[in-house]
Amino acid sequence: MSTEKTIKKVTTKALEVMKKRGEKIAALTAYDFITARILDAAGIDLLLVGDSLANVFQGNETTLPVTMDEMIYHTKAVTKGVNRAMVVVDMPFMSYQLSIKEGFRNAGRIMKETSAGAVKLEGGKRVAETIKELTDAGIPVMGHVGLTPQSINQFGSYRERGKSKEEAKEIFEDALAVEKAGAFALVLEKIPAVLANKITKALRIPTIGIGAGINCDGQILVTPDLLGLYVEFQPRFVRKYASLADEMDKSIHNYINDVKKKNFPSKAESY
């Protein structure tokens, strides 16, 4: 694992160049120092401190309960583990919906207190004015349209969005509005691959898909899903690359067994 500080940082410009070159962007979520360090050293391009931490870290059913202070706490740990990747922070529910001024104040706090490179907020036309104000002030913003989990109480379920003609049109227009407002990238969540492809082709900025098909400019997954650590949630867009929950279970059973049977610590492990 490299800890050298000489590695070139991934910037918003670099992501734009990757799109132009057709080079795919690999993104994942991170909520802590150790994981961020491993993902960064492996060469991940973008790390999102997602508000999914409300689910996978805090055990909540939705992303709504996580607070500004908690997002800042986790981001500070993540940025300490990162040399190269761009770190983007989710603005939590109700940190930007109240007013543009409130969104401004909270995005400013994230940028001042965490060393992150950008913020992400959910919504299209509805938040375009906020995105414009933030980018005008020098705060890079990533958009997020399609299934936007902060609106779960409005949607009523986590089903795929954009299946009907009307909803697809709405999402397409939202994507255009986010780009026009100045966002540097856009997350497309759980929408038909055909719609994601159409949006990706229409936009200058890169699209990062999650359950949005192969043609997005990049892909993102929630890291504990990919590692098989968070087994409660298994939608079909998650590819499990490991079964770490099983590995942990085995290791912990072995440890308990060794302690109970007086096999740990050995002489070599003692002073």
Structure tokens at 271: 């002073």
- Contacting range for ligand KIV; rule: CB under 6 A; set: 14-22, 44-52, 197-205, 253-261: 44-52
Task: Give the residue carrying structure tokens 């359950």.
Answer: 211
Q: Which of 82, 191, 203, 222 binds ligand KIV (CB under 6 A)?
A: 222
Among residues 7 and 64, whose Cβ is nearest to ligand KIV? Answer: 64
Beta-bridged to residue 220, according to DSSP, are: 27
- Positions of E strands within 207-252: 207-210, 218-221
**Does the footprint of ligand KIV cover residue 41 (CB under 6 A)?**
no
**Does the footprint of ligand KIV cover residue 121 (CB under 6 A)?**
no
- Mask for 172-211, x = binds ligand KIV (CB under 6 A): ---------------x----------------------x-
User: Which residue's CB comes closest to ligand KIV?
Assistant: 50
What's the closest the beta carbon of residue 96 comes to ligand KIV, in angstroms?
A: 14
**Does the footprint of ligand KIV cover residue 50 (CB under 6 A)?**
yes
Beta-bridged to residue 46, according to DSSP, are: 27, 86
Q: Are 102 and 58 in contact (CB under 8 A)?
A: no
Per annotation, catalytic residue among 166, 189, 247, 269: 189
Active site residue 189: yes
For residue 73, CA distances in Å to 2, 68, 77 come to 25, 9, 7
Q: Which is nearest to 203 in space by CA: 73, 7, 19?
A: 19
Distance CA 19, CA 16 (A): 5
- Residue ranges binding ligand KIV (CB under 6 A): 29, 48, 50-52, 90, 187, 210, 220, 222
Q: Which positions are catalytic? A: 189
